[in-house]
Structure 1
Amino acid sequence: MDDDVSLKFRKQLLFIDENLMAEDVAALKFLCIDLLPFRKLESVKSALDIFHLLMAEEYLNEEDNSLLVELLHRIKCYSLLKKLGYTKEKVQECLHEKGRVSPYRQMLYELSENITDEMLKDIVFLLQDCLPKRRIPLSALELLILLEKQGLLTENNVQMLEDICLNVSPDLLETVNCYKKAKVSLPQQENTVPVKEALLPHTGDIRVFTCPQETSIKYVSSNINDNKSANLSQGFSEMHLELPGEFSNVENETKKMAIYKMDGPHRGFCLVINNVNFDGSLQERKGSCKDAEELKIVFTWLGLDVRTYSNLTSLEIRDLMRTWQHLQDHKDRDCFICCILSHGESGAIYGKDEELVSIRTIMSHFTAKQCPQLAEKPKLFFIQACQGKEIQRPVHVEADAQIPNLTSMQQSISPSESIPEEADFLLGMATIDGYVSFRHIQQGAWYIQALCSKLELLVPRGEDILSILTEVNEDVGRRVDRLGTKKQMPQPAYTLRRKFIFPIPRDPPPSQQH
C-alpha cells in the first residue's frame, strides 16, 4: 500500500516536471534559495532535480506536499494545482498559516515578474559598475541573484532596490515598500525553536529562521563550526515555519497596496475649464488664465492630452461632460483628469451664466456605469473655487465666491458627499466646505500654483497623488494674505482603491526647462 502511494506521488512529480517550462524551473530555483544549499541549486537542470533536493532535506514527501503546492501557486501554475486536487483559493487560505517561502523571497520574485525587458536593460546599465564584467544577467531573477552574491541586496537592506525602482519605474516601489512595512511590523520577541540553515549565495553566512513569533531573518557568523551547523540541521524536520497571518503573505500586502496601471499607450485626457468672465454681477477672475496655463504645461509634461475651455455656461459644462463621457478613446487611456477654475458655492461651481452646476453631477458622468471606458481607472478632479461666502479681502487677493446679493445653494454639501459612491475617484478641493479660496490677481490661485509646484517637485521622486496633495495642504496652509489675517486649507476626498503614481517624465520639470 505504501509502495502504491509512493509510486503515485512520484508519478505526480514526473507529470509536473514534464509540464513546466524553463522559466518555471528558474522561478522554482529562485524561490527555494532560502531553503536549499545554493551550491546544489546552481547545478539544477530540471524541476525533478529540485524535487530530489527538497525530498533529501525532508521538505517534500508523499505525506506532505504543502511546499510543492505553495511553489506551484507562487509561480501561478494553477492548472497543475488542479491536477493535484487543489484550488487557487484554497491554497491562498492555507498560505496564511503554512507558507514557507520567506516574505523577502516572495517580494523579490514578484518584483522580477514586473520587470520588463526594457526595464532590465536600464537596470543593467545603471548597475554596470556593480555587476561582474564577465557575466551579464539574462533575466530579472539572475540579476537579483547577482546582487545577492555581491552582498548588495539582503532581506535587511533593500536600499539599492529602492534606488533602482525610483530611477527605472516608480511603480515597482510599491512591492518593496509593502515588504518593508510588513518587516518593520513583525514582533521582536525572541523564540527558540528548531531551525534550518541555508547558505547565503554570496557568503558563508547562515540564515536562521525563527518561528512562530518572529519571522525576521537573523545572521549568524560563518565561523560556526561544523558540529554546531549539524546540530542546527538536526530536528528541523520537526519544524513547520508558520508566519503571522497579517504579515505572512507579501502577495496580500501588495494587493492591498497596489497601484493603478499607468503603462498604457496613452496617459489620458485632462480637461481645464477656465471661467474668467461672467454675465452678471460675479467679478472677473483675474489671474485665473495663469492658473490654466500652468495646469496645461504641467499635465502635458506628465503625458496627458490637455484640452482647455474658457467661459462656459452651466449648460455648456453639462454638455461638455456628456461629450467626454461618451468618448471611446478613453479605453486606451490610463486615467482622466478634469480641472475647473471658477466661482463657486458649497458643493457646486458657477457657469458663465451664473447658474450653479453640482460637482457631484459633473463627476457622475464618469462612473463605471456611465463611462465604461474608464471603469476601474482613476478619475481625478481638481476644483479651484470657493465653497462659501465672499469675505473681506485686501486688494491683491480676491476670493472665488459669490457676491453677497446672489442666492446661495439651498443645502451645504461637503466634498466627501460630492464624490460619486463608486470607486476610483479623487476630488481635490481648493478649500474646505463653507470657506473661500484665494487667488492672487497676477500670480494665480494659491491652490493651483501649489498643486503645479508640488507635482513638478514630487512626481520625479515617485510620490503618489495623496502624498502630493498632503504637501499641497502644507504649502497652502502656510500661506497668508499680506495683512496676515486670511488663511486657506485645501481638502482632498477620494474613493481610490489603489495608489495613483504618475510615471516619471523623461523631460525635466517645466520650471527647469527655461
Structure 2
Amino acid sequence: MERTRPTTGSQGRETVGPSNMEDDAKLKFRQQLLSINDNLGTGDVAALKFLCTDFLSCRKLEGVKLGIDLFDHLIDEGFLSAEEPFLLAELLYKINRPLLFKTLGYTSKKVQECLHEKGRVSPYRQMLFELAENTTNMTMKEIIFLLQDKLPKRSTAPLCEEGDKCANNGKSPLDLLTLLEKQSLLREEDLEILEKACEMVSHNLLRVINRYKKAKDNKAANVTQAIPERSLELPGAFSNVKNEPKKKIYKMDGPHRGFCLVINNVKFKSSEREGSQKDAEELERVFTWLGLDVIIYPDQTSEQIIEIMEIWQRLQDHKDRNCFICCILSHGESGAIHGTDEKPVSIRRIMSHFTAKNCPQLAGKPKLFFIQACQGVKVQRPVRVEVDAQVIDPPPMQQQSVPLSESIPEDADFLLGLATIDGCVAIRHIMQGTWYIQALCSKLRLLVPRGEDILSILEDVNEEVATRDNGEGVKQMPQPAYTLRGKVIFPVPSDPPPSEQHQGI
C-alpha cells in the first residue's frame, strides 16, 4: 500500500499525513519503553523474563539483559505494539510496579478490569511467580537440598556473573523453577515434585499451590456444568440452556467506600495488651488503602464502647457509603469483648446497633466486624507471647458459652470474623501484634489486587493462622460467620499496597 505523504495546505503550511502520525505514535511508544527500562532493576528484568516464558523461546530469553531487549523481542513476535501495549501493563502489574504501567496510561483498576478479556499471563505462570516471591533464602536452600539428586550437577554452579554476591549458589527461586521446567520436572499438568518439596519445607508455599489447583478445579467444574449431558448429540441444545444466575456482588464503587472503626483497648485495670498498637496501625494503613475513612478509638470502657456504637448507629453519612467496618482489639470471653474496665460487652449487642431496623442508612449494605479477642479464659504465656484473656470472675450471666450463631444478628448483610473459636485463646506477640490481625492485613494486601472476595480472603487467613505455632504447642483457629447475601469485593486501589508504598519507581 502506498504511504500517504505530507501535503501543503492553502496557506503553504505542510499538513501531517497518516504515516507521519503513525511514526510519531511509534516514537512516543518507544520513548515510553525507554523510560520504563530506565526504572527497571535487575530483579525486575528477571521477573519479566520469567513471566514471558510462555511467549518467547529460551534462546531469546537467555540473551535478555535489559528491559529494552525484552521489549524488542515482544514487539518482533507481535505481542507488544504502540496500538496494543496491554501485555506490558499486565506484566508490570504482576510484578507490582504501578508507577511504571501508569507510563502507558493504565491504572491498577483499569488493568484489573482488562485482565479477564486481554490477560495473557497464564494462572500457572502467575502461581510459579508467586511461589518465587514468597520463597526465603533459607527455604530456597532447603528446596535445593531436597531436590539435589534430581538436578544435574552443573546446576549447582553459580549463575551470577563474576563478582556478584549471591546466596544459594547464585540461584534465585525463579532460576530454580526455570531449571525444573527445563528438566521436565515441573509442568502445568505435573506439580508433584514441587508440591512434595513445599510440603516438607513451607506450608505457606504449599498454600499457594493448593489455591491455584482449587481455582483450576473450580474453573473446570464450571465448564462441565455449563455443558448439558449429550449436548453434542442434540442440535441446538445450548439454546435451551438457562444461564445460572450470577452471584450477587455488593456495590463497592461509590465515591465514598465507608467508615472503619478501630477500638484498640491496651491499658486495662490489671494488664496491658502490648503489641496491640502494631495491629491498630496496620489496620489503619490497609483499610485506608482500600478507600475507607478509618477512625481509631484507644482504650474504651464497656460503657464507652456502647456509646460509640450508638453514635455511629445514628450517623446519616452512612447513606452515601458502600459499607461499614468495625475492628475491636481487646480482651474477651465467650461471646463478648471487654472494655478497659474489664466488664464484658456482648458481641451480638455491639452488632445489633447496625441492623436494617436500627440503622436504616446501612440497610442492604455489608457490615463487617473483626474481633481480636480471646473467647475463653485459658491462659498460656510463653516467652514474648501472650494471650488475650484475663483471669477474672465473670458475672453469672456470662458463665455459659454463647454459640457463634447467637453472636451474629439474624438480620442480613453481616460478617463476623473472630480471631479464635469459642472457648479458646487468641495469640498476641508483644512486638509483632496478633496472629489474626496481621494475617488479615497481609491477605488483604495480597488478594484484593487479585479480585478475591472477603470470604475467600478469610479462608486464606484461617489457613495461615491455623498452621502457625508459637514453639510451645499453642495453636489458634479463627472462625468467620456471616449472613451476607453476596460477595464483598473491594475495588483494586490505584496505589500499591501500603507495605510497598515506600518504594520508588
CA contact (8 A) 2:334 2:423 kept: yes
Q: Once the two structures are superposed, what CA deviation does each residue of 1:254-292 show, in whole Å capped at 9, x if it has no partner?
A: 1xx11000111200000000000112x3x2100001101
CA contact (8 A) 1:277 1:284 kept: yes
Out of 344, 360, 365, the position equivalent to 1:356 is 344
Distance 1:355 1:404 in 2: 10
Q: Which residue of 2 aligns with 1:249?
A: 243
Q: Which residue of 2 aligns with 1:379?
A: 367
**What TM-score comes out, normalization by structure 2 length?**
0.56
Are 2:383 and 1:389 aligned?
no
CA contact (8 A) 2:256 2:321 kept: yes
Out of 225, 234, 242, the position equivalent to 1:185 is 225
Distance 1:479 1:320, change over 3 A: same
Identity of aligned residues (%): 63
Per the alignment, in what secondary structure is the counterpart of residue 331 of structure 1?
helix
Aligned length: 300
Distance 1:130 1:392, change over 3 A: closer
Cα deviation, residue 189, structure 1 = 3.8
CA contact (8 A) 1:278 1:352 kept: yes
Q: Which residue of 2 aligns with 1:274?
A: 264
Out of 469, 477, 482, the position equivalent to 1:480 is 469
Cα deviation, residue 373, structure 1 = 0.5
Q: Once the two structures are superposed, what CA deviation does each residue of 1:236-259 show, in whole Å capped at 9, x if it has no partner?
A: xxxxx422xxxx134xx11xx110
CA contact (8 A) 1:390 1:400 kept: no
Distance 2:455 2:405 in 1: 15
Are 2:300 and 1:300 aligned?
no
Are 2:443 and 1:431 aligned?
no
Unaligned 5+ segments in structure 2 are 1-80, 88-113, 121-216
**What TM-score comes out, normalization by structure 1 length?**
0.55
Distance 1:330 1:130, change over 3 A: closer
Distance 1:126 1:249 in 2: 38
Q: Which residue of 1 aligns with 2:188?
A: none
CA contact (8 A) 1:388 1:435 kept: yes
Q: Which residue of 1 aligns with 2:331?
A: 343
Distance 1:410 1:384 in 2: 20
CA RMSD across the alignment: 2.7
Are 2:248 and 1:258 aligned?
yes
Q: Which residue of 2 aligns with 1:137?
A: none
CA contact (8 A) 2:86 2:118 kept: no
Distance 1:343 1:127 in 2: 58
Distance 1:288 1:513 in 2: 23
Cα deviation, residue 179, structure 1 = 9.9
CA contact (8 A) 1:415 1:427 kept: no
Per the alignment, in what secondary structure is the counterpart of residue 185 of structure 1?
helix
Distance 1:323 1:287, change over 3 A: same
Per the alignment, in what secondary structure is the counterpart of residue 266 of structure 1?
coil
Cα deviation, residue 392, structure 1 = 2.4
Distance 1:296 1:159, change over 3 A: closer
Cα deviation, residue 183, structure 1 = 3.6
Per the alignment, in what secondary structure is the counterpart of residue 326 of structure 2?
strand
CA contact (8 A) 1:396 1:441 kept: yes
Distance 1:380 1:192, change over 3 A: closer
Distance 2:412 2:116 in 1: 35
Per the alignment, in what secondary structure is the counterpart of residue 495 of structure 2?
coil
CA contact (8 A) 1:287 1:445 kept: yes
**Which residue identity is paired with 1:331?**
K
Map 1:77-156; keep pairs closer than 5 Å.
Answer: 128=84
Per the alignment, in what secondary structure is the counterpart of residue 506 of structure 1?
coil
Q: Which residue of 1 aligns with 2:93?
A: none
Q: Which residue of 1 aligns with 2:117?
A: 161
Q: Which residue of 2 aligns with 1:454?
A: 443
CA contact (8 A) 1:330 1:374 kept: yes
Distance 1:425 1:260 in 2: 12
Per the alignment, in what secondary structure is the counterpart of residue 308 of structure 1?
strand
Unaligned 5+ segments in structure 1 are 1-124, 132-157, 165-176, 196-208, 216-240
Per the alignment, in what secondary structure is the counterpart of residue 257 of structure 2?
strand
Q: Which residue of 1 aligns with 2:430?
A: 441
CA contact (8 A) 1:299 1:306 kept: yes
Per the alignment, in what secondary structure is the counterpart of residue 493 of structure 1?
strand
Q: Which residue of 2 aligns with 1:413?
A: 402
Cα deviation, residue 160, structure 1 = 4.5
Cα deviation, residue 478, structure 1 = 1.0
Cα deviation, residue 407, structure 1 = 5.4
Distance 1:159 1:183 in 2: 19
Distance 1:463 1:162 in 2: 19
**Which residue identity is paired with 2:434?**
A
Distance 1:180 1:478, change over 3 A: closer
Distance 2:469 2:359 in 1: 40
Q: Which residue of 1 aligns with 2:297?
A: 309
**Which residue identity is paired with 1:128?**
E
Return the index of the structure with the highest Cα Rg.
1
Q: Which residue of 2 aligns with 1:291?
A: 279
Per the alignment, in what secondary structure is the counterpart of residue 284 of structure 1?
coil
Distance 1:394 1:504, change over 3 A: same
Per the alignment, in what secondary structure is the counterpart of residue 349 of structure 1?
strand
Cα deviation, residue 187, structure 1 = 4.9
Cα deviation, residue 513, structure 1 = 1.4
CA contact (8 A) 2:384 2:430 kept: yes
Cα deviation, residue 411, structure 1 = 2.1
Distance 2:119 2:324 in 1: 29
**Which residue identity is paired with 2:492?**
I
Q: Once the two structures are superposed, what CA deviation does each residue of 1:116-171 show, in whole Å capped at 9, x if it has no partner?
A: xxxxxxxxx9983589xxxxxxxxxxxxxxxxxxxxxxxxxx9852749xxxxxxx
Out of 441, 447, 465, the position equivalent to 2:454 is 465
Q: Which residue of 2 aligns with 1:3?
A: none
Q: Once the two structures are superposed, what CA deviation does each residue of 1:32-77 show, in whole Å capped at 9, x if it has no partner?
A: xxxxxxxxxxxxxxxxxxxxxxxxxxxxxxxxxxxxxxxxxxxxxx
Cα deviation, residue 414, structure 1 = 2.1
